[in-house]
Amino acid sequence: MTTMPSYVHPLPHDGEPLPEAFTYPFRYEPHPLCLRAAAIVQAQAGKLGLTEGKMFGVLVVSTAAPHAATSTLYFLAAYSGQIDGSFAHPWFVPPIVDYLQADSHFQRVQRQIEALGEEVTRRRHSDERRHMEQRLAELMQQRDAAVARAKAVYAEGKAQRDALRRQRVEADSRHHHTDSAATDALIRDSQRQKADIRRARQQYADEIAVAMAELASYDSGTEALMTERHTMSDALQQWLFRQFSLMNARGQRRSLVEVWAEMATTREIPSGTGECCAPKLLQAAYRCGLQPVAMAEFWWGTEPKDGTRSHGRYYPACNRKCRPILAHMLQGLTLQADPAAHYDRVCSPLRVVWEDEWMAIIDKPAGWLSVAGVAEAETSPLRKPLCPNVEAEAHRRWPAIEGCALAHRLDQDTSGLLIVAKRHDVRRRLTMMFEQRQVAKTYMALLDGHPQRLEGRRTLTVSLPLSAVWNDLPRQRIDAEHGAEAITQVELLGYEGTMTRVALHPLTGRTHQLRLHCAADEGLATPIVGDRLYGRVDKRMCLHAMELRFTHPMTGEELHFCAECPF
């Protein structure tokens, strides 16, 4: 190419060795070339006047095969989503679809949707509706007052009638006869007053019915506008997804809808899909005929309150939005191996520690899933090898098991003790025992460093609520506002060189509780060795479910099981 677009920038190259394969986007260490490009982008980001933090990305590209003699290096830069409501920053790559142009189909329909929303709001707070509500309320108050008056008359008459009845009963008992005419008069008087109550209700029934019908009709019109708005919004979103024509290194184009149907494991496409850095960078490179060499993404600016991003730190592509897209867009590129691929190789079988007719205790090796994972598309270059899972193995070993066999789970990377229930009622009782904290668990862990919070003390309680990062599952986060309670007792066992051995006693059972309580700055600020999600990849994650103590759910026997720590 002789003329490059304004968003293609030359990258000084001091002879660093180029990568042999393209970056594995979900786990990587930034290549030195990416770090150099990122420094330039960070200087440029400072000129944007950012009011909030933003994810930025860099893509190192070449004009030919990266190791060819005639190859020249450049880099592209992108930011996730929009900045100040705009995609129009020519120094950065353009969006895959620019739907923010004022005269675009998207904006025209969006204005219609917004107008419908404004009309719904106007109708909900209009004087016309308020008058309808007031008229209905007044009629109901008038009816209630008339009924109350009629009931008061009836109550007063009933008291008088009861007094007269007592007097006549006494008189009749003295004269040995009954005054039937007087009794009939009392009955007629009671019936008349009860009829007055009914008439008081009926007096306003027709007017109230008309007022309620008018209000219902008005609200029905509002609901119809809301339905129309919702339908138009959904249709527009689907139209937008179809406009994303995603390229890959083989020159193939697929719409986002097609890619999602083939590559994704969920049906619904999240809003904003296709607007992250990685897809924008790859699309721009393919459009320009440039060869991707390496990629990295980092957070720049104010850190979000949920603590999921830190200024200047590099992050992998997100799973929820980007994994299905990249499964298509990376086809035709040779990818680096997943640094944690060895986690998915199972080298040892399950070991049954103990069993009886109701349940079994097994020792799960690292690498086994607790339950079956979600299958990925066969054509995906990011596809992981299929992993065995404890649930399926339990059904194979004990065919009579009813339904789900596991009362609790361990992460794939965690080894140790799991309880398998052979009957549904046993599993239900075990599940309740876990929920009621009647199962004592002890984990062994090696930490990647020496936690400052453990200096001078043997024990520490970490209480940090957790919630899911929904756009990057299975990652969890510390969430003081909406998180679920999570409590871990930490026991210092000793130091082993640069590492620290601890026993972890979880009092709750949240997803990734132990991993995040160790890794988070608010916790021990020292991740578990080999934690590929919250720390650094190693031969394995050094977390082992070592002990279980609980009462047998059927016999009442006190049980205690141990599994030797493999690290």
Rounded CA gap, 354 and 350, in Å?
12
d(CA 37, CA 57): 9
Q: What one-character DSSP code corresponds to residue 453? A: G
Separation in Å, CA 332 to CA 71, 292, 328 = 19, 11, 9
Name the residue with tokens 């008038």: 142
Dihedral angle at the C-alpha atoms of 218, 221, 227, 233, nearest 10 degrees? -110
Among 411, 413, 472, 479, the one annotated catalytic: 411
11 near 74, Cβ under 8 Å?
yes
* DSSP string over 274-330: T-SHHHHHHHHHHHTTPEEEEEEEEEESSPPTTS---TT-EEPPPHHHHHHHHHHHT
Between the alpha carbon of residue 236 and those of residues 95, 162, 259, 260, 274, the distances in Å are: 18, 73, 18, 17, 16
The number of beta carbons lying within 10 Å of the beta carbon of residue 32 is 14
CA dist 456 and 216 (Å) reads: 70
Residue 447, SS3 per DSSP: strand
- Per the annotation, the verdict on 411 as an active-site residue is yes
3-class SS shares of the chain: helix, strand, coil, % to 5: 40, 20, 40
Tokens of 353: 């520690």
Closest CA to 89 of 124, 115, 54, 113: 54
The residue behind tokens 């739907």 is: 99
Structure tokens at 9: 């920038």
Strand-pairing partners, residue 65, are none
Q: How far apart are CA 115 and CA 138, in angstroms?
A: 33
Strand-strand pairing, 543-551 and 415-421: parallel
Q: What whole-number distance in Å separates Cα of residue 281 and Cα of residue 59?
A: 6
Residue pair 107/100 in contact by the 8 Å Cβ criterion: yes
Active site residues: 411
